[in-house]
Amino acid sequence: MSLIEKLKSDKPFLALAPLAGYTDVAFRCVVKELGADMTVSEMISSDALIQNSKKTLKMIKKAKNETPYIVQISGNKIDKIKEAVFILNDIDGIDGIDLNCGCPAKKVYHHGSGARLLEDLPKLEMMLSTIKKHSNKTYTSAKVRIGIEKKIGADIVNSCQNSGADFVAVHGRTKVGAYKSKVDYEQIAIMKELSRIPIIANGDITSYDIAKKVTNETKADGLMIGRGAVVAPWIFQQIKNNTQTIEKKQKKTIILNHLDSIIDIYGEYGVVLFRKYLHGYSKSYDGSAVFRQEVNKINSSKKMRHIVSQFF
């Protein structure tokens, strides 16, 4: 079944949101096993991709179980976006290219990329249609917010569908709303109502109950989960299985699998990278503050495995 058919028929369709610094190949591999239907790479700058930086190419690497796999690019110039698409065309295993139209970070916004594209919808439309025209991948998509300051979801969705994009993920905040303002699910519902292409709702989906509420309120074709997954990757399984519960024993297995996956990819340096996830995983446990201090000092995978096995 194609991704679009799945989006239209599978309820709930669940995607992992791209989170730079978190949703790397090791983490994506874990959530895929827990029921995520679609995964997206961390944001890849089209400029960096063109410069062929080794680090950037590494960021594109996907896990064996990652299908469909979408690579997200950012950029401020149409010719550079086109060049980046040509590079991705030569890399197998990518099912789609997504354009970042939501990043509010100063460095990205002032560069004219990310959320800045929402200020110039004809340019956003041209960028997406450039991807659609030149990409040899099956899907072209956009990840957007609902505006810069003013909520202009209807105009944004029109531009996306006019460009020929196959689907759109909507983070229901403006750029000014950053990551903390109340998510406007009503605006996502307006966009869904208007749209001929599937809409994926995103923002503050952190539990099975909220997932249900967002699906009901927005009628979106899919849900995209970011921070909620980084602290609890099992959220995909909970939503898929209509339950709030997760056995402690399974949590421990998932956390240890994540550790194995990160070590497999980065070697012993993976231990350092793993610390930030443990901060989230341990939050609801007694003694988590002391545990966090301890793991911050550990550099060996053997020691990390031991302390994690004991704590969870």
CB nearer to ligand FMN: pick between 85 and 210: 210
Residue 114's nearest CA partner among 44, 66, 15 is 44
CB nearer to ligand FMN: pick between 205 and 298: 205
CB nearer to ligand FMN: pick between 100 and 301: 100
Characterize the bridge pairing of strands 96-101 and 69-74.
parallel
DSSP per residue over 251-290, as a string? HHHHHHHHHHHHHHHHTTHHHHHHHHHHHHHTTTSTTHHH
**What does the binding site for ligand FMN look like in residue numbers (CB under 6 A)?**
17-21, 42-43, 72, 100, 102-103, 143, 171, 179, 202-205, 225-228
Report DSSP state, residue 119.
G
Taking the complex as a whole, how short is the minimal distance between the CB of residue 159 and ligand FMN, in angstroms? 17
For residue 55, count CB atoms less than 10 angstroms from its CB and return exposed for 0-12, middle for 13-18, buried for 19 or more. Answer: exposed
Catalytic residue, candidates 29, 101, 103, 160: 103
**Letter string b/e over residues 196-221, b meaning 16 or more CB atoms within 10 A of that residue's CB:** ebbbbbbbbbeebebbeebbeebebb
Taking the complex as a whole, how short is the minimal distance between the CB of residue 287 and ligand FMN, in angstroms? 26
The question of whether 101 is a catalytic residue gets the answer: no
CB nearer to ligand FMN: pick between 8 and 276: 276
Which residue has the closest beta carbon to ligand FMN? Answer: 226
**197 vs 164: CA distance, rounded Å:** 9
**254 vs 267: CA distance, rounded Å:** 19
CB nearer to ligand FMN: pick between 237 and 301: 237
Taking the complex as a whole, how short is the minimal distance between the CB of residue 131 and ligand FMN, in angstroms? 15
Taking the complex as a whole, how short is the minimal distance between the CB of residue 142 and ligand FMN, in angstroms? 10
Taking the complex as a whole, how short is the minimal distance between the CB of residue 127 and ligand FMN, in angstroms? 14
**258 vs 60: CA distance, rounded Å:** 19
So which residues are the catalytic ones?
A: 103
